[in-house]
Structure 1
Amino acid sequence: MAGVAVAAEWQLLYNRYYRKPELYQMQWKNVDLTRNKIACAPFGGPIAAIRDDTKIVQLYAESAQRKLRIYTSSGILISESIWKNPGGRLIGMSWTDDLTLICITQDGTIYSYNIHAELLSTSSLGKECFANSVVDCVFWGNGVVCINEAFEIFAVPDFKTPTTVVKLADCGLEELPHCMAVIEPQYRNSGDVEVLLGVGDHVLSVEEDEVQELGVGVGPLQKMVVSRKGEFVASITHDGRLLVMSSDFSNVIIEYACEADENLRSIRSSLPEAVEACVDAAGYEFDISQQRTLLRAASYGQAFCSHFQHDRIQETSKMLRVLNAVRHAEIGIPLSIQQYKLLTPTILINRLINAHKHLLALRISEYLGLNQEVVVMHWACTKITASLPISDANLLQILLDKLKICKGISYAAVAAHADKSGRRKLAAMLVEDEPHSSKQIPLLLSIGEEDNALMKATDSGDTDLVYLVLFHMWQKKLPLEFFGTIQARPLARDLFVIYARFYKHEFLKDFFLSTGQLQDVAFLLWKESWELAKNPMASKGSPLHGPRIKLIEKAQNLFAETKEHTFESKAAEEHAKLLRIQHDLEVTTKQAIFVDSSISDTIRTCIVLGNHRAAMKVKTEFKVSEKRWYWLKVFALATIRDWEALEKFSKEKRPPIGYRPFVEACTDAGEKAEALKYIPKLADPREKAEAYARIGMAKEAADAASQTKDSELLGRFKLPFSQNASAASIFDTLRDRLSFQGNS
């Protein structure tokens, strides 16, 4: 069966068969070889392409600027650059042995590029080629031969020294030769290049100082190609004969009439239909030898048919190869080509694997480019089910040898089948080879490998997978066992803590207690107390304050267990004590204005409500300093405008904060008369001057300011009284007096 597809691809030339296999489907887009000049490097090297400026072509959404593009042999773009060379039309380009791209323009300029389309150097063929444009050139490994409009021939023997240009002997041409070929210097005894020119009915051999006529009567020759070592020349004559001769044209080795069928010429107009009929007939034929005959005929006719779809023969050959394989007596599926098309290859593969013909199904899948994973997976599952006597270790090796055929195959799916088949140990071993954690971990959980699943989830760093394992274990394990498992895995532990802080406080407290993290439990309790405070019912003496206080007291006791959290312990203790006092105040006053306020605000509120005893109790309980106490009471009394109580308070003893707060409290309240009770008691003349100025008493402010003997200060105090001429003059007089005293 293999011979059918192969035979369809080979063509007979003289007594030898040749074929042109397709190595790649080219990756480039919109590259029409007929619109471009092309240079392909030898030995699987890159391909250079540039739009052919000798042809009028239609531009398809592309710039009018020509670009030199360099591709890999599979058509992947390596590099490109805009063709800016000013040397006129591009005559030819080729790659050297060291993959340097040589481009020759009609003015004789030689441009060298690397595979990144970067210009390396420029040189010239000389003034003769500049004066008479280059019209043709033939490259070899590291050199080139060019002919110009004056029929002069020049050679560059080595592009490593491009300035060395050799002019060959004058061969007396009056018109351009039909074709040119080169015998490389390295294959000649003289070490010089030899150029073969197809002229008239013979060939001219041209060297630096000699011209010879060879092969008189063999021509005219339309094309010549020299063999690799210069021993032979293959040529096509004007009448369509292929001649292979020795390089001195003395001996004809092969003569073959390429234009080998009059019958073919007679049916040339209907040739496409004839080829199509042969292909169709081969498809419907069951006899393999008849298939081969028909396809060979179609292949032969295709060579002379430019409009036939060349992939039709290959497609039919592929289908026949598959059909002949399944028609074999051992398989017994005698499909016709029409049935095969209706059934589709995918369903045929499914029928084969259901019949346990896995090897044939695999080979057909590979041949047709179908996904082989379906076949391998079915084979693996069948093998597991049918191989109970085989040990898990041996069966694992058998499975792995085949599973590795398909990259990306799901080992987890095979392992799941092994688990369902009662081979849990085999499933656990298989899942180790699953490269995708997202498939591996759920399977480990399903077969009871929770610890292994957690290890792999944390190693993967995928938080979603870690949470998947955590929730699974959370439901299945006892709390202490669960806590012990995650404690050993920092990522799992941290993710659990993050989740539980939002949704599972009680469970998180149990975890912290189990691991001895008492301070973390305390912080949770303290947070819960604040959450409880957000309850709208926790006001007006609500009994909800009781649980809040107990939570804080529990937190205080836990903080006290560790020396590092003395501050937090003390803060929690005072917080609970303050809440108790505030709760009692709300109960007695029946006003929900105390809870969660600060100590200062609590004292201030008590004074404003006239409850001086409660204010003093808070001061005593929390050891409020005298200075802070005085500040709070002064401004609280001013708030309720109890000026009598304020004056009485100022006389209890000399205030530790001085009299300035008394002055400010009265002034802020707009009570000028009350402020005057305290301004004279200010010890600092500056403060006194500022106080008088604030209540509009210019003379007193000036007198106080003069005591500082600061003329600048007097000038500053004058500004508020600028509208009052008499008041302003007081400051001017005093400032002048101070200035005079200073000068004297």
Structure 2
Amino acid sequence: MAQVSDWTRVGNDVFYRKAELYTMEWGGGINVEEVLLSGAPYGGPIALTWLQEGRTKHRAPQSPATPTIVIFSAAGVKMGIIKWGNAPLIAMGWTLSEDLLCVQQDGAVSMYDMFGNYKQTFNMGPEAKDTGILSAKVFEGIQGTGVAVLTATHRLYVIANVAEPNPRKYADFPSADVSCWTVLREERALKVLLCQHDVLCWSSAANTRADVVQAPHVTEGVEDPVVIVKVSVSSNQRCIALLSATGKLWLGSSDLLTRFTLHDTRSNVCPRHLAWCGSGSVVLVWEVTLQLVDITGSVATFYLDSPVHVVQELDCVRLVGDTSHHILYKVPHASVETLGIGSMSPGALLVEAHLGYEEESPRAYDCLKLIQGKEEEAVHTCLEAARHDMSVDNVKLLLKSSLFGLTFLPPLEPNTFKDTALKLRILNDLRSKKIGMPLTWQQLERLTLEVALERLVARRFFPVALAIARTLGLETQLVPRILAHWACYKIANTSDKNDEQLARDIHSKLGYTAGISYTEIANCAHSLNRRQLAVKLLGYECRARAQVTGLLRLEERAAALARAQATGDTDLILTVLLDIKRALPLGEFLMVVGGSPLCRAVYARSCAAGAQEALRDLYVQDDNFHEQARLRLLEAYDNKRTDLRLGLLQSTAECFRRAKDELGVQLTEEQMRLLKCQVGLEELHHKSYVNLSLVDTLMQLIRDNHIKDAEKIRADFKITEKRYWYLRVTAHAAANHWQALEQFVKSKKTPPIGYEFVVDACLNNNSQSEAKKYVDKVKDENKAEYLRKCGLVSEAEKFTAESTSSVLNLARVTGFLS
């Protein structure tokens, strides 16, 4: 049968359940009244420290002589210890990634992981450091976990996200004692509500002065003045609770505009805790009395075995006592419908039908008949109730009932049952005392399974995390990360094995699992000063680039170069070479490059893009005179100064000579002679000739009518007569020196290039009249064509006719003679 005896009615058809989660493993030495305690949300760890002298009247007899912070799991299993030697603690809190934040009186905030390992320290600003802190809050902000502090000078400083600790000063408020305060998270900003006896103030970063609201306006019908002593905001930031010194509890919207209810606690004693249980009720805790007030004004009272510390969660509260850990939550409507006494809903009837079926009772048939046509609704109700029930017996009963109902539904429906059963099994494993993560279904949905698994890995429950990840089919996404975490943990906590054996052990476990990165594990080993282990782990890395990069990080450059060459990836080889160049003297580096043809080719190609000096050093190292000459030649013509160019050309010729390249020597020397000649021409004629080729130099001289200089260069460079005629005719025609052209052509009876070229040169420069002077001297076989080119069509036809007649006469004579 279902267990509903521990349900407590609050109002009409609303029930709350207080259930024990764990008997605390920390033993009987903890008194929650004598410690400063902070529980992480989402079933996270618990940190506590014994209050220091001056913070309580009597020092706890169980507290250690040295101030310490002890971290436990939610089940009371010790996880870590922090020896505290800093300034007095003002507050503690947890980030969303389960790091402990310790706010100190001097404004410093220290961060530790859940095992007590130090991570970092940041400060709340100079004023907080100089004046000290009165109180502090750790809260869930818009972008992450934040910290807010109230200084001794009554100023607020807020860090919105501890990942980027940049403190901002919030609006000033009327100088007076602050009885209580809290941080509210709005859609795009944070606001702080301060209670100064009978005055409420809204402070934000956007304003310079705080907005003041009179407390009597908030608590209508209450005596004046109203002194607010405690304030609490719901996890969804939509509701707020204000408690006055006279015991009046005001519940309303977080903007203070809407009141839900006003309740009189009938106690002038200030409770130790005020917290929201979900968003529908508030919990007040005195010594051993807990009062629950919902937003309709309904009240329920619970009596506790010992004082407790309240941890506010998304949908419940956790009560951490000296020896036990309880949860108080609202029983969901589906559970009330299904398991409630006297309920006749389809879900309840399905449960009854299942019980009757197991007892082989005829009432099973009767109940099934009553829910005919509503089987799907009944199954969904049972599953919904199972998701939110914290009783293992109730969950089993509800799952069995829903499975029984599935036999009457289409085969598609079992997928929902399978997913629900799997998640409930995971939740049950997480809630076990060994793991100590008492998550509810709603918290798991908000947190997501992936984050829950990451938290499981952070707690070093690797086998459980692997089993869950594989069951969920998340091999590619999560299994590599879990194995990598395990490997790093093993490296950090194994000192009795040598590096080679440990590397083999890790590889035997990880193998070549898809997605695993031995480079990341090697980085972890290197950060723990186990360099040789990191090198051996990199030997298992499949990705060449990652392996080479890792070896370079470890300064294993020879191994990195060998691996890069084995891949044939020129970019990777160049990366290694450049790293070696930065690390070694130039001579040693060039020896490394010269030791491999592939490295030499890759480095030479990279230097060709602009690093000419480096390339020359490489060729000097290799005695490659031919390439040295090529570089000198390129450098010579990049230089605008002719004297330096001549010197570089001289070096080029010397390099060609040492390379036994006679053609290269000859061509270079000829280029030097031409350059000297061009320099002389520039000095003589005051016109630019440098950078012209030999042919262009001759053409320019002829166009400028410096015929003697052209003749001299022709003789010096042994230019053939025919080539010289081509150049001179072309240059005279291009310059329209027709008289000079005519005189030059007449200088010989028959030009060595023929009259056809002369005619073409004239026509190419748009001068038919000059062309006609030479067309009659064209060879007979070409004359008709050139006459037409010159526009002498009738003459061309006449010449063609005469030529044809001559041929026919010749044929007749030849025939007669024959």
Q: TM-score, normalised by structure 2?
A: 0.48
Kept after mapping to 2: 8 A contact 1:634/1:661: no
Q: How far did residue 525 of structure 1 move? A: 2.0
Distance in 1 (alpha carbons) for counterparts of 2:761 and 2:459: 105
Q: How far did residue 666 of structure 1 move? A: 10
1:742 paired to 2:814? yes
Q: How far did residue 575 of structure 1 move? A: 1.4
Give the residue type in structure 1 aligned to 2:448: T
1:326 paired to 2:430? yes
Structure 1 374/632 Cα, relative in aligned 2: closer, same or farther at 3 Å? closer
Distance in 2 (alpha carbons) for counterparts of 1:732 and 1:375: 102
Structure 1 301/581 Cα, relative in aligned 2: closer, same or farther at 3 Å? same
Q: How far did residue 517 of structure 1 move? A: 1.4
1:9-88 alignment, distance < 5 Å: none
Aligned to 1:384: 491
1:620 paired to 2:715? yes
Aligned to 2:442: 338
Kept after mapping to 1: 8 A contact 2:625/2:655: yes
Indicate the RMSD between aligned Cα atoms, in angstroms: 4.1
Aligned to 2:580: 473
Kept after mapping to 1: 8 A contact 2:726/2:753: no
Structure 1 270/723 Cα, relative in aligned 2: closer, same or farther at 3 Å? closer
Kept after mapping to 1: 8 A contact 2:762/2:771: no
1:590 paired to 2:697? no
Structure 1 259/456 Cα, relative in aligned 2: closer, same or farther at 3 Å? farther
Within the candidate set 348, 351, 355, 2:455 is matched to 351
Kept after mapping to 1: 8 A contact 2:522/2:535: yes
Distance in 2 (alpha carbons) for counterparts of 1:718 and 1:619: 37
Give the residue type in structure 2 aligned to 1:279: L
Aligned to 1:507: 614
Distance in 2 (alpha carbons) for counterparts of 1:377 and 1:659: 87
Residue identity (%): 26
Distance in 2 (alpha carbons) for counterparts of 1:623 and 1:288: 110
Aligned to 2:650: 553
Long gaps (5+) in structure 2: 1-359
Q: How far did residue 559 of structure 1 move? A: 1.2
1:520-539 alignment, distance < 5 Å: 520-532=627-639, 538=640
Larger radius of gyration: 1
More strand by share: 2
Structure 1 547/393 Cα, relative in aligned 2: closer, same or farther at 3 Å? same
Secondary structure in 1 aligned to 2:456?
helix
1:295 paired to 2:404? no
Q: How far did residue 548 of structure 1 move? A: 2.3
Q: How far did residue 472 of structure 1 move? A: 2.4
Kept after mapping to 2: 8 A contact 1:529/1:551: yes
Q: How far did residue 667 of structure 1 move? A: 7.4
1:716-731 alignment, distance < 5 Å: 720-721=794-795
Kept after mapping to 1: 8 A contact 2:457/2:482: yes
Kept after mapping to 1: 8 A contact 2:729/2:758: no
Within the candidate set 779, 789, 793, 1:687 is matched to 779
Q: How far did residue 545 of structure 1 move? A: 2.1
Structure 1 258/731 Cα, relative in aligned 2: closer, same or farther at 3 Å? farther
Within the candidate set 525, 529, 535, 1:422 is matched to 529
Q: How far did residue 475 of structure 1 move? A: 2.5
Give the residue type in structure 1 aligned to 2:677: I
Distance in 1 (alpha carbons) for counterparts of 2:361 and 2:496: 69
Kept after mapping to 2: 8 A contact 1:437/1:457: yes
1:603 paired to 2:698? yes
Distance in 1 (alpha carbons) for counterparts of 2:402 and 2:754: 120
Distance in 1 (alpha carbons) for counterparts of 2:611 and 2:484: 43
Aligned to 1:311: 415
More helix by share: 1
Distance in 1 (alpha carbons) for counterparts of 2:489 and 2:518: 14
Q: How far did residue 514 of structure 1 move? A: 0.8
Secondary structure in 1 aligned to 2:608?
helix
Q: How far did residue 694 of structure 1 move? A: 6.1
Distance in 1 (alpha carbons) for counterparts of 2:793 and 2:807: 13
Long gaps (5+) in structure 1: 1-255, 533-537, 539-543, 697-716
Give the residue type in structure 1 aligned to 2:670: E
Give the residue type in structure 2 aligned to 1:523: R
1:78-109 deviation digits (Å, cap 9, x = unpaired)? xxxxxxxxxxxxxxxxxxxxxxxxxxxxxxxx
Structure 1 457/635 Cα, relative in aligned 2: closer, same or farther at 3 Å? closer
Q: How far did residue 627 of structure 1 move? A: 4.0
Aligned to 2:504: 397
Distance in 2 (alpha carbons) for counterparts of 1:595 and 1:695: 41
Q: TM-score, normalised by structure 1?
A: 0.53
Kept after mapping to 2: 8 A contact 1:392/1:426: yes
Secondary structure in 2 aligned to 1:486?
helix
In terms of mean alpha carbon deviation, does 642-651 or 269-278 score higher? 642-651
Kept after mapping to 2: 8 A contact 1:276/1:298: yes
Q: How far did residue 313 of structure 1 move? A: 2.6
Secondary structure in 2 aligned to 1:502?
coil
Kept after mapping to 2: 8 A contact 1:667/1:695: no
Aligned to 2:292: none
Distance in 2 (alpha carbons) for counterparts of 1:467 and 1:500: 11
Distance in 1 (alpha carbons) for counterparts of 2:613 and 2:590: 14
Kept after mapping to 2: 8 A contact 1:634/1:665: no
Kept after mapping to 1: 8 A contact 2:787/2:795: no
Structure 1 577/258 Cα, relative in aligned 2: closer, same or farther at 3 Å? farther
Structure 1 721/386 Cα, relative in aligned 2: closer, same or farther at 3 Å? same
Higher relative contact order (CA 8 A, sep 6+): 2
1:151-199 deviation digits (Å, cap 9, x = unpaired)? xxxxxxxxxxxxxxxxxxxxxxxxxxxxxxxxxxxxxxxxxxxxxxxxx
1:493 paired to 2:588? no
